[in-house]
Chains A and B, each alone.
Chain A
Amino acid sequence: MTATLPSAPLSRREWLLADHPQSRMQARLGRAYMVWLQFSANRLAMIGLSIIVLLVIVAMSADLLAPYSPVVGDLRNERLLPPGSAHWLGTDGQGRDILSRLIYGSRLTLLVVGLVAVIAAPVGLVVGTVSGYAGGWIDAILMRLTDIFLAFPKLVLALALVSALGPGIENAILAIAVTSWPPYARIARAETLTFRHSDFIAAVRLMGASPGRIVVRHIMPLCLSSLLVRVTLDMAGIIITAAGLGFLGLGAQPPMPEWGAMIADGRRFVLDQWWVAAAPGGAILIVSLGFNLLGDGLRDALDPREASR
């Protein structure tokens, strides 16, 4: 190893951008650095990233940031106050501070998108890679199944599912996850097909690796980046669907400060106290926009083919 070390010490940037990385780790870090350079040059993508980072920080430090309790309000003196110095976004019909509720609600939003991604993405990944690698009748059956789910009306199905399972945030998450895995399976399969017959897979197979090992260790990691892009772009849709379920009273139950349910709360007062309904919707819009911008930027940085469009 010492023989390959250059005489002058490299700067960190040069080390990362080296044409001939000396270790796997250097190669990986170098690749990540290139992606980051691409990504950070995109102003809109950076705005998206900051929105999401801010969301995570707010959710983590909700106890510190929220000025009031999210569930208990002053019913006697502070109902439906307009935005002002004491309550920056006003108060709702039960005298609760809307800003505090929004801050705590960010936790629910993150919970929903996180859990849906954790449930749906692996299912799609497994179905897609197995289908693509196995081919034949396994592929035919799995893809038929995927297409069937892809052709369903997602929101309506989620509605019916939650109404059967009973309202609640867990069931809403489950219903959204059940309807959102098919695109991931399609993407993973398409990726798998592109390198199924490549030399490195043949080499691994010659070395005696089982199909399971090939799929898990060698194919799945290569599908991750396009999957990540798609999941990020889907987050906005997931948030909006969850809010829709909450709005209909099928998602998080009161007094949980779920943003969709907060809009439903504010609906009664919307003609006179419009801010009660406007604030949570604004929060949904900003966060969804953040995920969309982040997803667009990730796609441009990770997948140059798509970026040229």
Chain B
Amino acid sequence: MTPMATARRSGIAAAGFSARLAGFLVAVTTTYLGLLAVTFFIGRVIPIDPVLAVLGDRAPASAIARVRIEMGLDLPLWQQFSIYVQKVLSGDFGTSVLTTHPVLEDIARVFPATIELATVGTAVGALIGVPLGVLAAVRRGSIVDQIVRVIGLVGYSMPIFWMALLALVVFYARLHWVAFPGRLDVVYEYTFTPISGLFLLDAIWQRQWEVLWDLVRHIILPASLLGYLSLAYISRMTRGFMLNELRQEYIVAARAKGLSDARIIWAHALRNAAVPLVTVIALSYANLLEGSVLTETIFSWPGIGSYITNSLQNADMNAVLGGTIAIGTVFIALNLLSDLLYRFLDPRTKAR
């Protein structure tokens, strides 16, 4: 690409900024409305009669008629939907049958645990996955490249809940390296009062090192497994990006200048691959939030995944849909954010 073409393109990009922002807002709104439409459809339209679902089939006819009007089921579907959207946007997800709390309250309680798990998982995945991907790209075709590829393939092909079970057998039952499933030992329940819900940070803040150690012994296994999932994805993408960079002319120029290999790879090439890499890591974070659903059930991790699966088993639809919307919201936000990051940080995509 010539410098002039680049200049022209960035000019276009500046002029189109507000248009692209508008397009982005439209994307956010329609996607979110789409999510709500699907959850509305699942909660209100698929069950043959939502009233019966609430009252049971032995309720008297008068009660059924009353509840039908209370639930707004006599209104046209689009009106029901708009009421539903208003309710969700104001934070009203209904009440959980299982916990008898408002669903939003429940979600606010359990979500930090999932955030903590997914964050540590992504950190593990990125800290190991990026170097592995770089190494595979630099030694393309070598035995290192093959090993990284196999590690990634197994990560893509493995059911994580199964791996989690086996890991528990090995690391908890046989080797006693990690703690019993859960988030924190009951011993500390009364001596440790978390503030933010992110226990690791709370423990550091309160200088409760013993608690911190126990937390680490609990989180290390589920987080490593989730980290493996994102490692598979991150290392593969890193390899691709690095291969792209390494064949560019500026690499040849840097070589000609006499820079060391390490400097060329880590300071020059990786820095240019960083923009798409950030978006990939954001995406894998979103995937881990979702992937944590099954992992949490294995490790009795009190997060949103356990909440959803517990509610599933008890046919608690309000809680299931509330959890779905909560994960969906974060998922969509991260998805669009990574899209946005990519478009705004990488000048090459602006021309499109």
Taking Cβ atoms with an 8 Å cutoff, the residues of A that contact B are 144-145, 147-149, 151-157, 159-161, 163-165, 236-237, 240, 243-244, 247-250, 260, 263, 266-267, 270-271, 274, 277-278, 280-281, 284-285, 288-289, 291-293, 309
- Are B165 and A160 interface neighbours, CB within 8 A? no
* Chain B 40-55 interface residues, beta-carbon cutoff 8 Å to A: 42-43, 46-47
- Are A152 and B328 interface neighbours, CB within 8 A? yes
- Are A159 and B308 interface neighbours, CB within 8 A? yes
Using Cβ atoms and an 8 Å threshold, which residues of chain A touch B335?
Answer: 151
B270 interfacial by beta-carbon distance below 8 Å = no
Q: List 15 A-B contacts (CB under 8 A).
A: A147-B31, A153-B290, A156-B293, A156-B328, A163-B320, A236-B157, A248-B312, A263-B161, A267-B165, A270-B169, A281-B163, A284-B162, A285-B159, A288-B156, A289-B154
The closest CB in chain A to the CB of B172 belongs to A271
Interface residues on B, range: 35 or more
Using Cβ atoms and an 8 Å threshold, which residues of chain A touch B312?
Answer: 159, 163, 248, 250
- Are B30 and A144 interface neighbours, CB within 8 A? yes
A163 vs B159: C-alpha distance in the bound complex, in angstroms?
A: 21
- One digit per residue, 1 when the CB lies within 8 angstroms of any chain A CB and 0 when it does not, for chain B 274-309 equals 000000000000100111011001000000000011
- Are A148 and B30 interface neighbours, CB within 8 A? yes
- Are A156 and B324 interface neighbours, CB within 8 A? yes
Using Cβ atoms and an 8 Å threshold, which residues of chain B touch A285?
Answer: 154, 157-159, 162
Known: A163-B315, A281-B166, A288-B157. 8 other contacts (CB 8 A): A153-B286, A153-B289, A153-B324, A153-B331, A156-B323, A157-B324, A247-B294, A277-B166
The closest CB in chain B to the CB of A278 belongs to B166
The closest CB in chain B to the CB of A48 belongs to B153
The closest CB in chain B to the CB of A247 belongs to B161
Q: Which of B46, B165, B240 contacts A165 (CB 8 A)?
A: B46
A288 vs B162: C-alpha distance in the bound complex, in angstroms?
A: 14
- Are A154 and B159 interface neighbours, CB within 8 A? no
Q: Which of A157, A164, A263 contacts B46 (CB 8 A)?
A: A164
Using Cβ atoms and an 8 Å threshold, which residues of chain B touch A161?
Answer: 42, 46
By Cβ-Cβ distance, the 3 closest A-B pairs, closest first, are A281-B162, A288-B157, A148-B34
Using Cβ atoms and an 8 Å threshold, which residues of chain B touch A249?
Answer: 313
Q: Which of B165, B328, B331 contacts A277 (CB 8 A)?
A: B165
- Are B290 and A156 interface neighbours, CB within 8 A? yes
- Are A152 and B331 interface neighbours, CB within 8 A? yes
Instruction: With A161-B42, A164-B47 as known contacts, state yes or no: A153 contacts B327, CB within 8 Å.
Output: yes
- One digit per residue, 1 when the CB lies within 8 angstroms of any chain A CB and 0 when it does not, for chain B 1-44 equals 00000000000000000000000000100110011001100110
Using Cβ atoms and an 8 Å threshold, which residues of chain B touch A163?
Answer: 312, 315, 317, 320
Using Cβ atoms and an 8 Å threshold, which residues of chain A touch B157?
Answer: 236, 240, 285, 288-289, 291-292
* Chain B 125-172 interface residues, beta-carbon cutoff 8 Å to A: 153-154, 156-163, 165-166, 168-169
- Are B162 and A248 interface neighbours, CB within 8 A? no
Using Cβ atoms and an 8 Å threshold, which residues of chain A touch B324?
Answer: 153, 156-157, 159-160
- Are B31 and A271 interface neighbours, CB within 8 A? no
The closest CB in chain B to the CB of A233 belongs to B156
Instruction: With A156-B293, A247-B294, A250-B312 as known contacts, state yes or no: A147 contacts B27, CB within 8 Å.
Output: yes
Using Cβ atoms and an 8 Å threshold, which residues of chain A touch B153?
Answer: 289, 292-293
B117 interfacial by beta-carbon distance below 8 Å = no
Using Cβ atoms and an 8 Å threshold, which residues of chain B touch A244?
Answer: 159, 161, 294
- Are B159 and A284 interface neighbours, CB within 8 A? yes
B211 interfacial by beta-carbon distance below 8 Å = no
Tell me the minimal C-beta distance from A155 to chain B in angstroms: 5
B212 interfacial by beta-carbon distance below 8 Å = no
B332 interfacial by beta-carbon distance below 8 Å = yes
- One digit per residue, 1 when the CB lies within 8 angstroms of any chain A CB and 0 when it does not, for chain B 323-349 equals 110011001100110000000000000
Using Cβ atoms and an 8 Å threshold, which residues of chain A touch B168?
Answer: 270
